[in-house]
């Protein structure tokens, strides 16, 4: 039987699998490097946030959440952009690599967007005296969360992995195209309410330079963190794929 040839049987023997193992250990090397860099950046970031950043005269210390909340929110949108690009390339060129990027970016992205929402509410409550406000940025973030969830649900409920990849790619593309439209709709819809001058969504020019610098540093820290988690998740997916291949070969042997 064709399928039981040795070349297809034990994955460790095939050149494709060897390349994957090499890539995986390369990735692990990169992973350790990223943990070190990310850890150092995070420590520095925390120091900056608590020791260097000036205390906001209006909001007090609780304003420091800003240095976590805003970068996390920015990264969650960036993650979705990665999902969009990878989904687009996947639909056009169909490599498992691209599906792996999209899937991992979506999973890590949903973590980021959930945190953005959580830190957002934990900041809104003391500052605005309400847990939630239907204003453009928060609302769009909530919709982004829903789209991420739809993406992951489609993957979970699809009949097989190939279909899961295609369907979720479609969701990734349509979702990303839609997000700007949602943002402007909500902005026009809420047009009567003025955006808060201070608070979670103060415009960047309202910041003084120290705050802006720390914010950017924080953004870099979370970018490294995102990259680390993304590579870890992609690595896990590779491993899962290997398990599936192995199970597949076992069942087809006579």
The yes or no reply on residue 246 touching other proteins (CB under 8 A) is yes
Contact set for other proteins, span 104-133 (CB under 8 A): 108, 111, 114-115, 118-119, 122-123, 125-127
d(CA 175, CA 83): 10
Could you tell me the smallest distance in angstroms from the CB atom of residue 9 to other proteins? 7
**Residue 114 CA to chain centroid, in angstroms?**
10
d(CA 178, CA 189): 16
- If the CB atoms of residues 209 and 251 are measured against other proteins, the closer one turns out to be 251
Q: Which stretch binds other proteins (CB under 8 A): 75-83, 95-103, 175-183, 212-220?
A: 175-183
41 and 220 Cβ atoms separated by less than 8 Å: yes
Contact set for other proteins, span 12-41 (CB under 8 A): 12
d(CA 130, CA 72): 21
Q: Which stretch binds other proteins (CB under 8 A): 75-83, 165-173, 202-210, 211-219?
A: 165-173
- If the CB atoms of residues 81 and 184 are measured against other proteins, the closer one turns out to be 184
Contact set for other proteins, span 64-103 (CB under 8 A): 64-65, 68-69, 72, 91
142 and 117 Cβ atoms separated by less than 8 Å: yes
d(CA 103, CA 86): 9
Q: Which stretch binds other proteins (CB under 8 A): 76-84, 95-103, 206-214, 234-242?
A: 234-242
The yes or no reply on residue 169 touching other proteins (CB under 8 A) is yes
d(CA 196, CA 14): 60
Contact set for other proteins, span 198-217 (CB under 8 A): none
Q: Which of 8, 14, 96, 242 binds other proteins (CB under 8 A)?
A: 242
Nearest to 78 by CA among 215, 224, 182: 224
79 and 108 Cβ atoms separated by less than 8 Å: yes
Could you tell me the smallest distance in angstroms from the CB atom of residue 171 to other proteins? 7
Number of residues that bind other proteins (CB under 8 A): 74
- DSSP 8-class letter at 231: H
């Amino acid at each position: 039987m064709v399928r039981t040839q040795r070349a297809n049987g034990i994955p460790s023997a095939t050149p494709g699998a060897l390349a994957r193992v090499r890539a995986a250990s390369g990735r692990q090397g990169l992973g350790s490097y990223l943990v070190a860099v990310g850890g150092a950046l995070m420590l520095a970031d925390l120091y900056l946030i608590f020791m260097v950043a000036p205390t906001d005269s209006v909001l007090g210390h609780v304003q420091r959440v800003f240095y976590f909340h805003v970068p996390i929110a920015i990264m969650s949108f960036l993650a979705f952009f990665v999902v969009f690009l990878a989904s687009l390339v996947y639909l056009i060129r169909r490599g498992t690599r691209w599906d792996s990027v999209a899937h991992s970016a979506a999973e890590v992205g949903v973590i980021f967007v959930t945190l953005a929402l959580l830190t957002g509410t934990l900041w809104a409550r003391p500052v605005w005296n309400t847990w939630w406000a239907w204003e453009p940025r928060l609302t769009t973030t909530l919709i982004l969360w829903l789209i991420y969830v739809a993406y992951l649900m489609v993957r979970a409920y699809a009949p097989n992995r190939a279909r899961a990849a295609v369907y979720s790619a479609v969701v990734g593309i349509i979702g990303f195209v839609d997000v700007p439209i949602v943002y402007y709709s909500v902005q026009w819809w809420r047009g009567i309410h003025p955006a808060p001058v201070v608070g979670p969504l103060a415009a960047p020019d309202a910041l003084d330079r120290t705050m802006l610098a720390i914010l950017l540093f924080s953004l870099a820290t979370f970018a490294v963190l995102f990259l680390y988690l993304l590579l870890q998740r992609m690595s896990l997916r590779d491993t899962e794929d290997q398990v599936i291949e192995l199970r597949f070969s076992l069942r087809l042997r006579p």
